[in-house]
Amino acid sequence: MDKVKKLLSRGQASWNLILIALLVLEFVIFGAANPKFLRPQLLFTAVNDNLAVFMLALFVTLVMCTGGIDIQVASLVGLTSIIIGVAWQDFGFSIWGACALATVVVCLCGALSGFFIAYCRVQAMVITLGGSFLYSGLALLVSTLSSTASYESISGFPDDFKFIANYQVGGVIPFQILIYAAMLVVAFILLHKTKYGRKIILTGVNQSAAEYSGIHTRRVIMSTYVLSALAAAIAGIVLTAYLGTAKSDLGGDLTMDIITAVVLGGTLSTGGKGSVIGTALASLAIALLRFGLPLCFKIGTQYLDIPVGILLVAVIVGRSAATNTGIVPWLRSLFARKGSSKASAQ
């Protein structure tokens, strides 16, 4: 335990090493159970299937670094998808014009939620939870404008749109992974290499102090929700092209994995600390877990939320115990009270 405490006290870089060790452990266990797991093509498939989580978690990291949370981001993926389908099929938009329209609408949704959180001081949990229902309902409403029944998906997209999902660089690397790599670079530079990133961290540490130092914290907070919505739009475009269909509920089940990836990556839920690289590593760990368990141990996909939830709780409790905060002092005080009560009784 002392070694773990020393490792964690060195900062985010050491936590990233722990995440890398977790990834190595997954490769060893799943690879030993089923050698097919180690095939590059299957690994790329695992990443493709979870790419929306990878993309969204990057910019939700920025939101959580301010001390907020974005539960609505998954519903914006479905809204993006259905707007693309309806605008292209029923309103005569070109496919790229439909993508642009969806991006603008979704960014406005993010700005609206960010405005209420930053300028009206409403709790982020409340606004984004309400936003998740609002934007899911809006996606269903948009689907009623289509000639296709609401319960059916819109398909038949042109080849230049499907190019996003079908093209492979060098015949191996899917093109959408390069899109994710570009988003990773942008998010890393924004958070770790710019004044804007420092403003995000300072806002999360102490918003009042950041205001007194001249930082427009409300503007910073609102901008992170717009960036998160922009990431949702990109993820919605990529996911629609990958599946070849537009649906209003696309991405609706991604929220748990997104929040888990951000927290597992080292971002504090209270704000003031976060890592884009840590989020990327955690996203990969979750993707491999969801891919490896059914492939190697025949676990049903309907049960995969259980190990993800266990992983999240174990990491939070483990970090708390290793840093000697939270649960450990509480347990020590509890046992101390029991010991003192027994001694007084004797």
Using one digit for the tens of pLDDT, what is the confidence trace for 140-153?
999 999 988 877 88
Average pLDDT, the chain: 88
Beta pairing, strands 245-246 & 154-155? antiparallel
Largest CA distance in the chain: 86
Q: Class of the 2-308 domain?
A: mainly alpha
Confidence category of residue 8, pLDDT binned at 50, 70, 90: very low
Question: What's 51's DSSP letter?
Answer: H
Position 159: which residue type?
D
Tokens of 216: 């427009």
Give φ, ψ of 205 to 5 degrees: -70, -50
Question: What's 270's DSSP letter?
Answer: T
pTM of the model: 0.89
Provide the residue ranges of all domains of the chain, joining segments of one domain with +: 2-308
pLDDT confidence of residue 151: 79
Q: Give the residue, 329 or 312, on which the prediction is more confident.
A: 312
Using one digit for the tens of pLDDT, what is the confidence trace for 26-54?
999 999 999 999 998 888 888 888 999 99
pLDDT confidence of residue 325: 53
Bridge partners of 156?
none
Q: Give the residue, 150 or 24, on which the prediction is more confident.
A: 24
Using one digit for the tens of pLDDT, what is the confidence trace for 113-172?
999 999 999 999 999 999 999 999 999 999 999 988 877 889 999 999 988 888 888 877
* Residue 266 near residue 16 (C-beta atoms within 8 A): yes
Using one digit for the tens of pLDDT, what is the confidence trace for 282-321?
999 999 999 999 999 989 888 988 988 888 787 777 766 6
Nearest to 87 by CA among 104, 75, 73: 104
- Residue appearing with tokens 């319960």: 151
